Amino acid sequence: MVTLFVDFDGTITEHDLLDAIAQAFGDSEIYAEVDRGLDESRLTLHDVLRLEFAPVRAPLAEVVGWTLEHAAIRPGFREFVSSVRERGWRLVVLSSGFRELIVPVLEREGLAGLELLSNTVNPHPAGWRVGFRDETPCPVCGEPCKRAAVLAEANGSTIVYVGDGVSDRCGAEASDLVFARRGLASYLEEKGVPFTPFRDFFDVVAGIERAGLA
């Protein structure tokens, strides 16, 4: 049995919607400062999400509309989903983003039935408040991360991970086969962790077949 975990922002979508929304609806100075804090390891990813979205006061419907207008799905994703389903494998969208913004995009693409593990958001008029899926620190990286969900949900099956950013690092390191791009690829290369680079989900399907999992 194979369990596939796929990040959403910057992986399923061509661009990171969380970053774009925080800049479009939040405070650009706060965004720049917390982004530096993440790069310099002064802030955790949870700290960053809390701080970036606290200044956002737009109604959820407005942000969902903006998201649907700007969210582009990476080529090959629908074909990837079909391929996974044909094999009878389990596919989990594992995201640090918000269910309230992810579900409308998946519904637009005709993929509303995909299994989703993500954070949530309370779009409070005084500032958006993030509800985290898991706040238990990881014994490996020291922060709440995706590793625990990957290992628990896989339950001993072969793990395939597809991701692109900081939130994907620990989950990817716990996986058997990793497809990475952008910052995740750079991180894994520096750490000497094997991975397959990808541009789109056609690359991922081809890589799975080369790996003998097909």
**Percent of residues, the chain, with pLDDT higher than 70:** 100
Instruction: Report the pLDDT averaged over residues 92-108.
Output: 98
Model pLDDT for residues 174-208, shown as the tens digit of each residue: 999 999 999 999 999 999 999 999 999 999 999 99
Name the 3-class secondary structure at 197. Answer: strand
**Fold for domain 2-14+69-210?**
Rossmann fold (3.40.50)
Model pLDDT for residues 24-40, shown as the tens digit of each residue: 999 999 999 999 999 99
Q: With 70 as the cut, is the pLDDT of residue 57 above it? A: yes
Confidence of residue 213 (pLDDT cuts 50, 70, 90): confident
DSSP one-letter string for 110-173: T-TTSEEEEEEEE--TT--EEE-S--PPPTTTSS--SHHHHHHHHTTSEEEEEE-SGGGHHHHH
Where in the chain are the domains? 2-14+69-210
Give me the chain's average pLDDT, please: 97
Instruction: Report the pLDDT averaged over residues 42-59.
Output: 97
Q: With 70 as the cut, is the pLDDT of residue 214 above it? A: no
Instruction: Report the pLDDT averaged over residues 91-107.
Output: 98
Model pLDDT for residues 162-178, shown as the tens digit of each residue: 999 999 999 999 999 99
Per-residue pLDDT at 125: 95
